[in-house]
Amino acid sequence: MKKKGIALLLAAAFAMSMIGCQGAAAPAAPAADTADSSAPADEAAPAAGGVEINVTTTFAGEDGNAQNFKDAMNAWCAETGNTVADTSATSDETFKTRVITDFETGSEPDVLFFFNGADANSFIEAGKVVSIDDIRAEYPDYASNMNDDLIADSLVDGKKYAVPVNGYWEAMFVNKEVLDAAGVSVPGADYTMDAFKADCKKIADAGYTPIAAALGNIPHYWWEYAIFNNGSPANHLEIPASADDAIGQAWVSGMNDIKELYELGYFPENTLSATDDETFAMFTEGKAAFLIDGSWKVGGIVAACQADPEDPATLDADKLAKFDVTYVPGKGDRKATDLIGGLSMGYYITTKAWDDPAKRDAAVSFVSYMTSDEIVPKFAQHTASALKNAPAVDESAFNPLQIKAMSMMSGVTSLTGAVQDLFMGDCRVSTFDGMPEIVTGKVDAKDAVQEGIDVYQAQ
Amino acid sequence: MDANIYKNKRPVIVFLTPAFIFMIVYLYYPFLKNIWNSFLEIKQLGGTGSGFLDPWYENYAKMLTDANIKTSLINTLIMMLATLVFQVGFAVILALMVDNIKRGKQFFKTVFFFPIVISATALGLLFNLIFLYDKGMLNQILELLGKSELTDWKAEGIAIFTMMLPVIWQYVGFYFVILITGLNNISEDLYEAAMIDGASRIQRVFYISIPLLHNVICTCAVLAVTGALKVFDLPWTMFPKGMPLKSTFLTGTYMYYQTMEAKNVDYGSAIAVLIVVLGVLLSKAVNRIFKEKDY
């Protein structure tokens, strides 16, 4: 009898622990009567305190705005009494997969800072995020400080969902120490691909690596510009119907341009086996001259010039002065000053949070705070924003590389979105992950492009 | 002694039911669902898919022509052989050596077992620094020894060996502990009798220790072969996406690549089925080859 009792007790304890686990994972029950969902919130007024919202952004890791996000988030929490469960992570394919999977499995965050291109199609199609217009129906001031014309339309239904904060650009960073050693001057607005190749030769002859890029890991930036260089700002966002049509041929030529640079030995010797971090370290340590990357890399370069990457006070100004940012060499109908860039991300409020009376106000309040006229300029810095009344930039608040970036941006003749944001998912595999096979000649560039187009058309 | 406990099955059922339900929910149902998913077209994890593939067995037909599957299988086979020969082999040698010393046995047991308790991802990052092209530990040592050119330890051709080294190193301690336990179970009387008969230390190893370790070595061999099929974290940390040139894919890393990176969830499911089938067949084969003996 005693043994039976112990057995039942243990079984009951095991069952209770399982129930306990389930309970912990389940979303918290809405707090009764803490918020009136029918009453539009005053944007200036903080949401009722005590609510925890789940937020996922890409402001993490080496992102230049990671600290700005933490500061702004903490300020919002202090102001409203709410809390944030922050699950931000570095933006990469794994992050995108995690977010999409969270939506598929019903564990999406309440507020999401994510891409507004094809990456968002699946959760918009499933109705899992709320459009800006629907939010404005109840909160008329929501994102009213933004220029709607600059907010991207969804590729699914043409509605606007994501409130942008900071824009981005992709340009070419240079290590002036390497250029000086090779007798090459910093490229300007009229830089061409032929001049670039000539400079690369001089740099290679001087014993340095001309281009810092890990083709086996992150070929994205070269992929984008190589295609752009064989097209124009007018047709860059067109997806080819076949590798044989005009756009398709431009894509194939782009891949072959990268192959040519590889064969000339201008990429690092271990470009097929190195990670992006390794080649970036080559650039910051004065072993490579050119780095094509995004505006977010400004923060990474500055951090590499600090004794303590977390502490701006430890910045080595002399080291930072060796870096500059300029235009990507042009070719054909694309001028060097025609850059890839735009407002590709923004804050979404999920339907899950919107339908939860306890969280709706807090989610709206959070996004309103993060996209306010005071916060956006801190994030936008040397990039664009969608603010109607962007305040004048105080250059004294920026470091020398950010100021150089602003100067470079002032000479930009056009900003075009990245076609890889439209040509997303597994259709990119044959030319992204397959880049090493293309440059080594194991796979023909035309076959790789056609394979990607076939997958795109089957989607 | 009350024999009623053996007749009354209810306590047994009460204890087994939660574990059985747990296995159904978290192992058998996902496994069957995975088989089902391998016939559907699924582009997002957690998604229900957009219907059956055309033909429904497309993923399995694709495996026959997929060069990366061939690479993964060959690499996994090499990994299995390397684990058998080096992991179990080194573990046997170390266990025999440690068993023959009088002092410091516990020290060596701890030292050899230690890599097991370190996360494979942390080890991957550690070995990344060792094999780093520029300023890596190995290349710096070679530079000190007078080598002027850097060696790319992750280049095509040698990458597979660079990947295997830490995997083998990490698990030697695991088999070492199993084998040393097996050696402890051998009666001292046998060694004493052999000594009286004039057997040398080497003879005692070859005629007593190794024969009596046969069954333990067999168990280690089965564990090594089935374990090699599942290796994932350390290779993925060191060689993501099968870098370079997709030459370092293992069945586990290729399944992950297809599911998480290439967004071919259905094809990833089919590879998972292949891994299970291979695991069952290989463990059967290994069990048959290394048949345990009754003493």
Instruction: Tell whether B216 is within 8 A of chain A (Cβ).
Output: no
The closest CB to that of B243, out of A100, A273, A440, belongs to A273
Identify all chain B residues contacting A15, using CB atoms and an 8 Å cutoff. Answer: 18
Average pLDDT of A37-50? 48
Whether B260 and A105 lie within 8 Å, measured CB to CB: no
- B134:A287 CB<8 A: yes
Closest alpha carbon within chain B to A8: B14
Q: Assess whether pLDDT exceeds 90 at residue A105.
A: no
Residue B46, domain member (yes or no): no
Instruction: Identify the CATH number of the domain defined by range A51-167+343-391.
Output: 3.40.190.10
Burial of A428 (0-12, 13-18, 19+ CB in 10 A): buried
Q: Cβ–Cβ of B261/A433 closer than 8 Å? A: yes
Q: What is the pLDDT of residues A226-240, one digit of tens each?
A: 999 999 999 999 999
CA distance A293 to A280: 10
A185 part of contact set with chain B, CB < 8 Å: no
Mean pLDDT of B60-80: 95
Confidence of residue A356 (pLDDT cuts 50, 70, 90): very high
* Long-range CB contact pairs, B77-85, < 8 A, 24+: B78/B160, B78/B164, B79/B164, B79/B167, B79/B228, B79/B231, B79/B250, B80/B224, B80/B225, B80/B228, B80/B229, B80/B282, B82/B164, B82/B168, B83/B167, B83/B168, B83/B171, B83/B224, B83/B225, B83/B227, B83/B228, B84/B221, B84/B224, B84/B225
CATH of domain A169-341+397-458: 3.40.190.10
Q: What is the pLDDT of residue B16?
A: 92
Residue among B134, B243, B262 whose CB faces A282 most closely: B134
| Whether pLDDT at A180 is above 70 | yes
What per-residue confidence (pLDDT) applies to A236? 97
A90 touches chain B (CB under 8 A): no
Mark yes or no for CB contact A278/B46 under 8 Å. Answer: no
Q: Please name the residue of chain B whose CA is at the shortest distance from the CA of residue A429.
A: B262
Cβ contact B46–A104 (<8 Å): yes
Q: Using the predicted structure, report yes or no on whether residue B170 has a pLDDT greater than 50.
A: yes
Comparing A8-12, A405-409, B219-223, the range with the smallest average pLDDT is A8-12
pLDDT of residue A41: 39
pLDDT tens for B208-242 read 999 999 999 988 988 888 888 888 999 999 999 99
Kindly identify which residue of chain A lies nearest to residue B256, measuring between CA atoms. Answer: A94
pLDDT tier, A28 (very low <50, low <70, confident <90, very high otherwise): very low
- Confidence band (pLDDT; 50, 70, 90) for A51? very high
Q: Mean pLDDT over residues A339-344, rounded?
A: 92
Give me chain B's average pLDDT, please. Answer: 90
Domain boundaries, chain A: 51-167+343-391, 169-341+397-458
B43·A11 Cβ contact <8 A? no
Q: Rounded to whole angstroms, how far apart are CA atoms A449 and A193?
A: 22
Residue B197 lies inside a defined structural domain of this protein: yes
Mean pLDDT calculated for residue range B135-141:
93
pLDDT of residue B4: 59
Question: Between chains, do B45 and A15 touch, taking CB under 8 Å as contact?
Answer: no
Q: Is residue B93 part of a domain?
A: yes
Q: B132 and A436 in contact by Cβ < 8 A?
A: no
> Chain A contact for B243, CB < 8 A?
yes
Structural domains in chain B (count): 1
User: Over the stretch A295-310, which tens digit does the pLDDT of each residue have?
Assistant: 989 988 998 999 988 7
Residue A194 is predicted with a pLDDT of 97
Q: Which residue of B has its CA nearest to A5?
A: B11
Res A65 pLDDT > 90: no
Interface A-B, measured as beta-carbon pairs within 8 A, has a size of 95
Selecting from B14, B45, B132 the residue whose C-beta is nearest the C-beta of A97 gives B45
Q: Compare CB distances from B244 to A272, A278, A281 and report the shortest one's residue.
A: A272
CATH code where residue B164 lies = 1.10.3720.10
pLDDT given for residue A397 in this prediction: 76
**Is residue A339 pLDDT above 80, yes or no?**
yes
ipTM over 0.90: no
Do A101 and B45 make contact, defined as CB atoms within 8 angstroms?
yes
Confidence band of B160 (pLDDT split at 50, 70, 90): very high
Whether A169-341+397-458 and A51-167+343-391 are alike in CATH topology: the answer is: yes
Average pLDDT of the residues in A6-26: 41
> In which band, very low, low, confident or very high, does the pLDDT at A262 lie, cut at 50, 70 and 90?
very high
Q: Is residue B110 part of a domain?
A: yes
Range of the domain at B195: 67-289
Q: Over range B248-272, report the average pLDDT.
A: 93
Please give the Cα distance from B170 to B33 (Å, whole number).
33
Contacts A93 to B, Cβ<8 Å: 260-261
How much is the CA Rg of chain A, to the nearest whole Å? 25
Tell me: pLDDT of A258 over 90.
yes
pLDDT of residue B50: 77
> Average pLDDT of A400-426?
90
- In the DSSP assignment, the letter for residue A117 is S
State how far the alpha carbon of B250 is from the alpha carbons of B76, B230, B240, B287, in Å.
5, 9, 11, 23
What average pLDDT does chain A have?
87
B72 CB near a chain A CB, below 8 Å? Answer: no
Closest residue in A to B4 (Cα) is A1
**CB-CB under 8 Å, A272 with B243:** yes
